[in-house]
Amino acid sequence: MTFKVFVDGQEGTTGLRIHEYLAARTDIEVLKIDADKRKDPAERSRLLNAADVAFLCLPDVASREAAFMVNNSNTCLIDASTAHRTAPGWAFGLPELARGQRGAIQASKRISNPGCHSSAFILAVRPLVDAGLLPQDAAISATSITGYSGGGKSMIAEYEQQPLPAHLQAPRPYGLALKHKHLPEMAAHTGLAAPPVFQPIVSTFYKGLAVSVPLHLSQLKAGTTPESVHAALAAHYAGERFINVKPLRDAATLENGFFDVQACNDTNRVDLFVFASDTQVLLMSRLDNLGKGASGAAVQSMNVHLGLEESLGLV
């Protein structure tokens, strides 16, 4: 069977990468809009309603407008913006989130694609909340370092100018108003009562992302050890193809002395780590911000929704 797919916003970073994933597939017919009609509401509406699956790779306002254009009950929307990530009626497109999430994605015609920072954070934290090790009212923080491709075409152009201006040559913390757009989903889909104090940092490499969540063992359920934290992650993701829980205090990383933020690039994989002392643990989650952090996750959700092999086109 061939499925018709339309990417609304096909010229953006996420849209282009989705096209790359779909290009080699014989089960997908990609519907393309003429360049001179990309902003024509009638043509966009026609293609959205002709598709079995339509990816919305648009700013939030435009994604909401596109969703209102769809009146074909058979069209499944997968929205890559932040517009619907905590909205009622939209399934969160993270199949590994919890038991039953794949069923929700398969049943829904409205799927919100997770953000890159939030995917890494949620995958690290949700198992501890579900296992009762991390209280829902815990006050925690998180830091994320990411490649500049996460900022889209304008930031890519900024970082790839030559010569590179001096102010871009060092890592740049941002989100200093503490209102990052991923915060609502970070709380909603971990089960935490409040989002973390979150510090994102962009640096001079193209892609790759790592989120770090520091915790005192005293913040966790009484008697919790680094071993039980690691066991909660391993149990939660047992059998998951794209989630790789590394050994406790990963020896290879410790021997090297430095963490490789880019080791998941060009994959749909997430690596999860637990580093620990006698009194503290450091959760770390690594992914490709353009893969599992964006386009790869969207294609994975499409596969789940259509009842296809989940890894089709992703490995």
State the average pLDDT over residues 176-186. 96
Domain spans of the chain, in order of start: 3-113+293-306, 116-290
CATH 3.30.360.10 fits 116-290, yes or no: yes
pLDDT of 10 reads: 83
Mean pLDDT score of the chain = 96
The pLDDT tens digits of the residues spanning 12-69 come to 899 999 999 999 899 999 999 988 888 889 999 999 999 999 999 999 999 999 999 9
pLDDT at 294 over 90: yes
Q: Rounded to the nearest 5°, which phi and psi values hold at 212? A: -115, 135
Are the C-beta atoms of residues 170 and 164 closer than 8 Å to each other?
Answer: no
Within its chain, how far is the Cα of 90 from the centroid? 16
Task: Return the closest-CA partner of residue 85 out of 206, 185, 204.
Answer: 185
Contact 94, 73 (CB under 8 A): no
* Superfamily in which the 3-113+293-306 domain is placed by CATH: NAD(P)-binding Rossmann-like Domain (3.40.50.720)
Report the pLDDT value the prediction gives residue 40, as an integer from 0 to 100: 87
pLDDT band at 168, cuts 50/70/90?
very high
Residue 39's pLDDT is what? 83
Task: Report the residue count for the chain.
Answer: 315
Q: Is omega for the bond preceding 59 within 30 degrees of 0, making it cis?
A: no
Supply the pLDDT for residue 315: 86
Contact 287, 12 (CB under 8 A): no
pLDDT digit string, tens, across residues 112-137: 999 999 999 999 999 999 999 999 99
**Contact (Cβ atoms closer than 8 angstroms) between residue 17 and residue 23:** no
Q: What token pair was written down for 67?
A: 């969703």
Does 234 have pLDDT greater than 90?
Answer: yes
Give, in order, the Cα–Cα distances in Å from 133 to each of 76, 136, 198: 36, 9, 21
pLDDT category at 82 given cuts 50, 70, 90 is very high
Say whether pLDDT at 270 is over 90: yes
Q: What is the rounded distance in angstroms from the CA atom of residue 106 to the CA atom of residue 282?
A: 34
Q: pLDDT tens digits, residue range 142-152?
A: 999 999 999 99
Would you state the structure tokens that stand for residue 59, as one six-digit string?
């700013």
Q: Are 83 and 89 contacting, i.e. CB atoms less than 8 angstroms apart?
A: no
Q: Which residue has the tokens 């905590």?
A: 86
Residues serving a catalytic function are: 116
Q: Write down the pLDDT at residue 2.
A: 95
Tokens 């997430």 belong to residue: 270
* 141-146/270-276 β-pairing: unpaired
**DSSP letters for the chain:** --EEEEEETTTSHHHHHHHHHHHT-SSEEEE---GGGTT-HHHHHHHHHH-SEEEE-S-HHHHHHHHHH---TTPEEEE-SSTTTT-TT-EES-TTSSTTHHHHHHH-SEEEPPPHHHHHHHHHHHHHHHTTSS-TT---EEEEEE-GGGGHHHHHHHHTSSSPPGGGSS-EE--TTS--TTHHHHHHTTT-SS--EEEEEE-SSSS-EEEEEEEEGGGSSTT--HHHHHHHHHHHTTT-SSEEEPPTT-HHHHHH-S--TTTTTTSS-EEEEEEE-SSEEEEEEEE-TTIIIIIHHHHHHHHHHHT--TTTTT-
pLDDT score recorded for residue 12: 87
Distance between CA atoms of residues 47 and 33, nearest Å: 8
In the chain, what is the greatest distance between 2 CA atoms, to the nearest angstrom? 63
Looking at residue 195, what is its pLDDT? 96
pLDDT for 1: 83
Q: Which residue has the tokens 């009212």?
A: 137
Q: What are phi and psi of 177, to 5 degrees?
A: -80, 0
How much is the pLDDT for 96?
98
